[in-house]
Amino acid sequence: MKELKINRVILTTDYKSYLEVKKIVEKYGLKPLLFNCIKIKRLKFKIPDKKYDWIFFTSKNAVRIFLNQSKWFLKGKKIAAIGPATLREIEKMAKRSCDYIPPDYNSVSFVKSFVSKYKFKKFNILFLTSDLTDDYIQNNFLKYGHHIDKIIVYRTIKPPHSDYRIKLLKKNIKNSFIIFSSPSSLYNFIDTVSLKLLKYPYIVTMGIKTEKSLKKLGFESFIKAKSSFEDIISKIRKITTTRSKK
C-alpha cells in the first residue's frame, strides 16, 4: 500500500491538555493543530465529613483540581483511576500510584472488574468528577451495596472561537486526523462549525461513549484504540506510513 501522506492532527481538547498532547504528536513526527472544543471551569466544592476507603477519579482534570485543593485528603485512602491519563496525573501530582485501574478504560469495565475483585467487601467511596459524567458508576456501586458520594469538581463548557480560528480549521481540516476525546468535544465542535465538516477529516474517537455518539451522527471512528493519546498517535503514525485512503 502507498503511504498516506497526511501528517496533521487536529486536537479538540482543552488548552492545557493540548500542550501535553502536542509533545506526543510532535514526537511521532506529526503536526498538531488546536481547535479546542472544551474549556474546564473549576467549581467550589466541600468534602463531606465522612470516613472514606476509596477515592475514584475518572479524569485527569478531576485529579488536578482536587489535589490542588485537597491533596492532604489522600492520606490513608486507596485510589482508583479509570484510565492511563488519569493514572499518570495521580502519579505526577500525588507521587504515588493507584490501587486499582480497570482492564478496559471505560465505566462499564471500571464497575464490573472492581466489583468482581472486591465482591465480598463494602466500601465508602468518594467519587470526583465533572458535570457531564452520568450516574452509571454511582448507581451501580450503590446497587452492589457500597456507599458512594459523587462530587462535581469542574464544569465542561464550550469556548468561543474567533473567525480567524474557524477559517484556519476549515483550511486545514481536509484529510487531516481529528481526535475527539469526549462526547462534549464532538458536540461542541458541531455546534461551533457544522456537522458537514466532519466528512473531510479522518475522525478518531477516545472511549466507548464518544464512539457511540459519533455513530449516532452517521460516522465511524477511523481508528479503534484504547483511551490513551499515546496509543492513538502511535497508530496514526503507523497508518500514515503503511496505507493510503481509498
Query: CATH code for 8-37+159-239?
Result: 3.40.50.10090
pLDDT for res 105: 84
- Among residues 100, 2, 5, 108, the alpha carbon closest in space to that of 53 is found at 100
**CA–CA separation, 198 vs 221, rounded Å?**
11
Same fold, 8-37+159-239 and 46-156: yes
DSSP structure string for 31-70: EEEE----EEEE------SS--SEEEE-SHHHHHHHHHHH
Domain boundaries, given as residue ranges, for the chain: 8-37+159-239, 46-156
Architecture of the domain defined by 46-156 = 3-Layer(aba) Sandwich (3.40)
3-class state of residue 142 by DSSP: helix
pLDDT for res 116: 95
Q: Which helix (H) or strand (E) holds 143?
A: helix 136-143
φ and ψ of 136, to 5 deg: -60, -50
Please report, in tens digits, the pLDDT of each residue of the chain (246 residues total).
345 567 899 999 999 999 999 999 999 999 999 999 999 999 999 999 999 999 999 999 999 999 999 999 999 999 999 988 899 999 999 999 999 999 988 899 999 999 999 988 999 999 999 999 999 999 999 999 999 999 999 999 999 999 999 999 999 999 899 999 999 999 999 999 999 999 999 999 988 889 999 999 999 999 876 668 888 999 999 888 654 444
φ and ψ of 232, to 5 deg: -70, -45
